[in-house]
Amino acid sequence: MRLRLGTRGSPLALWQARWVAAGLEASAPDIDVEIVPVRTTGDRVVLRPLAAIGGKGLFTKELDQALLAGEIALAVHSLKDLPFRLPDGIRLAAVMPRGDPRDALVANGRSLSGLPSGARIGTGSLRRRAQLLHLFPQLQVCDLRGNVDTRLRKLDDGEFDAIVLSAAGLIRLGHAGRVSEYLPAETVVPAVGQGAVVAVCREDDRATSTALERLEDPATRAAVTAERALLEILEGDCRVPIGGYGVVDNDRLCLHGLVASPDGRTIVSDQTTGPGADPASLGRRLGRRLLDRGARAILDDAARHGA
């Protein structure tokens, strides 16, 4: 059984694709995986903030098109890049075991609290920007795009005093030694799905779906299902700073949620715990609670004026 696996062409995306391919080939002797790099709009447009050019779907649209056209059998994504509504005909077939969900500071050994007033800190995420400004308003938070190696190079070239990236991405690419500080998920709430790798396939492709189910991690699936249900209630995308992070402990699931104004001045956060067997209901409940506590006003303001 030969499977064509579509992926973005960045070093991190290729690492994730090879990891999934290795898992598939190890799961059954008759599976042979061919990795097919696909360049997405988000990869081509690197000089403008994501929020200004259309949001998360920019990293998935071309892969979705190739999947629906039958050019590939599956696509591998970082879950945080996947919109909460998938195109018709595509299903989330497998959620792999989650990596480190936290954000990580790379600052040549300095901590976030140790950065001087006015220090330039780079990030491409409105969510990170808002939370950093809320905690440390004396910092200059500047836009930073590009793959992991590009961002590290810009730091090394002196364009920034520090940068914040996904811990999982740094670890997977062998850059854990560059991390100055891991930011606690309770202090800087991660993006929905951060650290999780997923595979999607066509809804009518039973053979590929069955092969992918062997890679499924139920605990990660439960956690990210709650997070994505939270995101759906908030109708959020990367134009509004939103965080969501679920943790499964035995049969219980604890979910943290956050909505912030882009300038970081207003933060609405909460958490809830409930049965892990019904993660979507837990996520929807927390989403409605955040809306009632002030998130609706933030989201309405973003809709009127842009993030």
Beta strand pairing call for 74-78 and 181-183: unpaired
- In this structure, are residues 140 and 118 in contact, taking their beta carbons and an 8 Å threshold? yes
User: Which tokens hold the place of 234?
Assistant: 């908030």
- In this structure, are residues 234 and 290 in contact, taking their beta carbons and an 8 Å threshold? yes
Can 32 be counted among the known catalytic residues? no
User: Which tokens hold the place of 74?
Assistant: 């599956």
What CA–CA distance (Å, rounded) separates 158 from 295? 37
Beta strand ranges found along the chain (DSSP E):
2-7, 32-37, 74-78, 90-95, 103-106, 120-123, 140-143, 162-166, 181-183, 197-202, 242-249, 252-260, 267-275
Pick the catalytic residue from 30, 43, 64, 81: 81
Which residues are marked as active site? 81
